[in-house]
Amino acid sequence: MPRPQVYNRDAMLDAAEELAVQRGVKAVTIRAVSERAGISNGAIYHAFGSRGGLAGRAWVRAARRFLALQREAVDAQHDPVRAVIAAADAPAVFSEQYPSSARLWLSIARDGLIGDAPPEVQAELRALDTDLRDLLIRLSIAMWDRKDAASVAVIEDCVVGLPTGLMLRRPMPPTADTRRRLAAAVEAILSVKLGDNHAHTSRNHRRNSGFEPRRR
């Protein structure tokens, strides 16, 4: 009896990713992905269940790639300031290593791509939000031994706000000068003394951060 053919899920996700960044979210259909990847409609349905599942998994894969690179960059630094700078610079590294994934994640709002994603994909997205918040808290503790809303907000400004303003509004990957300006801006913000801490808790800021870049 012949063995069933095994298809590469990454090839399907690559096709969905390329369609989304080249032709827009509406171009990501089972049929279009089938034609681009050279894989049957049935195999794609079997792997992802629906168009929403396919598109959602493509966005989740891009986000996971980014977070993995960001964590690796932070882990490689022993100085807390350099760790925050590395986290802020992660979009530049991401756009170099995974250009198509970076375009998907940075230019297409996740709600537009995964609005009809199945519950398990939605759960993965919530887990990504938690992973980002945990990284912000980790960096805040390393910097100031604090994890209150005010201190974590400063880290979020450095890791999310500054890259959006100085890097993500321009063509990616950024120039070396842009990356140097970003590093200098992060260092300048971190040099400002924080106010008194009246609440050693991370609960307040948790509803403010979500794992999605701010739009252009």
CA-angle at 105, arms to 102 and 106, nearest 5°:
80
Q: Which residue pairs, CB below 8 angstroms and at least 24 apart, start in 23-26?
A: 25/55, 25/108, 25/112, 25/113
Q: Is the pLDDT of residue 201 over 50?
A: no
* Cα 85 → chain centroid: 16
Q: What pLDDT score was predicted for residue 204?
A: 44
Of 23, 31, 72, the closest CA to residue 50 belongs to 31
CB distance 136 to 159 below 8 Å? yes
- Reported as a single tens digit per residue, the pLDDT across 91-131 is 999 999 999 999 988 777 777 666 677 888 888 888 888 99
CB distance 74 to 139 below 8 Å? yes
Domain ranges of the chain: 63-207
- Reported as a single tens digit per residue, the pLDDT across 20-76 is 999 988 898 999 999 999 999 999 999 998 888 898 899 999 999 999 999 999 999
Of 22, 168, 20, 21, the closest CA to residue 91 belongs to 168
Per-residue b or e along 23-36, where b marks 16 or more CB atoms closer than 10 Å to that residue's CB: eebeebbbebbbeb
109 φ/ψ angles, rounded to the nearest 5 degrees: -65, 135
- Reported as a single tens digit per residue, the pLDDT across 123-161 is 888 888 899 999 999 999 999 999 999 999 999 999 999
Of 109, 126, 124, the closest CA to residue 60 belongs to 124
CA 190/CA 195 separation, integer angstroms: 12
User: What mean pLDDT value characterizes the chain?
Assistant: 87
Distances in whole angstroms, Cα of residue 203 to Cα of each of 25, 137, 149? 35, 11, 8
pLDDT greater at residue 170 or residue 159: 159
Q: What pLDDT score was predicted for residue 139?
A: 98
Instruction: Give mean pLDDT, residues 1-25.
Output: 81
pLDDT greater at residue 156 or residue 214: 156
